Amino acid sequence: MQPTDRIREDVREFTPYAPGLSMEEIKERYGLARVVKLASNENPLGASPLVKRVLARKADMVFRYPRAGNPALVAALAEAHGVPRGCVVAGNGSDEIIDLLVRVTCRPGVDNVVAFAPCFSIYVQQTKLCGVELRQPPLGPDFAFDLPALAGACDAKTALVFLTNPDNPSGYAVPADQVVALAKSLPPRALLVVDEAYVEFADPEADHSMLPRWGQCDNVVVLRTFSKLYGLAGLRLGLGVMPEWLADYLLRVRLPFSVNLLAEAAGIAALEDTPFRQASLETVLRGRRLLAEKLTGLGCRVYPSKANFLMFAPPSPQCGAADVFKALLGRGIIIRALKSYGLPELLRVSIGNDEENDLFLAAMKDLVENGC
- Contact positions toward ligand PMP, by CB under 6 A? 93-95, 120, 164, 168, 195, 197, 225, 227, 233, 238
Which of 120/201 has CB closer to ligand PMP? 120
> Least Å distance between CB 195 and ligand PMP?
5
3-state class of 133 per DSSP? strand
> Least Å distance between CB 147 and ligand PMP?
17
Which of 197/222 has CB closer to ligand PMP? 197
> Least Å distance between CB 164 and ligand PMP?
5
> Least Å distance between CB 225 and ligand PMP?
3
Which of 195/273 has CB closer to ligand PMP? 195
Cα–Cα distance, 58 to 52 (Å, whole number): 10
Nearest to 196 by CA among 224, 173, 177, 160: 224
Residue 211: what are its φ and ψ, rounded to 5°? Answer: -65, -40
> Least Å distance between CB 266 and ligand PMP?
13
DSSP 85-128: GGGEEEESSHHHHHHHHHHHHPPTTT-EEEE-BS--HHHHHHHH
Cα–Cα distance, 58 to 265 (Å, whole number): 8
Check if the beta carbon of residue 94 is closer than 8 Å to that of residue 195.
Answer: yes
Which of 99/367 has CB closer to ligand PMP? 99
Question: How many whole angstroms from its chain centre is CA 325?
Answer: 21
Which of 48/227 has CB closer to ligand PMP? 227
> Least Å distance between CB 370 and ligand PMP?
33
Query: How many residues in total does the chain contain?
Result: 372
3-state class of 24 per DSSP? helix
Q: Is the dihedral of CA 187, 131, 168, 77 positive or negative?
A: positive
Q: Which residue is nearest to ligand PMP (CB)?
A: 93
Residue 168: what are its φ and ψ, rounded to 5°? Answer: -115, 125
What is the amino acid identity at position 102? V
Could you tell me the CA-to-CA distances from 169 to 88, 144, 262 in Å, in that order?
A: 27, 12, 30
> Least Å distance between CB 179 and ligand PMP?
15
> Least Å distance between CB 98 and ligand PMP?
7
> Least Å distance between CB 165 and ligand PMP?
9
**Exposure b/e, 95-107, CB count within 10 A at least 16 = b:** bbbbbbbbbebbe
Which of 172/363 has CB closer to ligand PMP? 172
Which of 50/233 has CB closer to ligand PMP? 233
Question: How many whole angstroms from its chain centre is CA 44?
Answer: 16
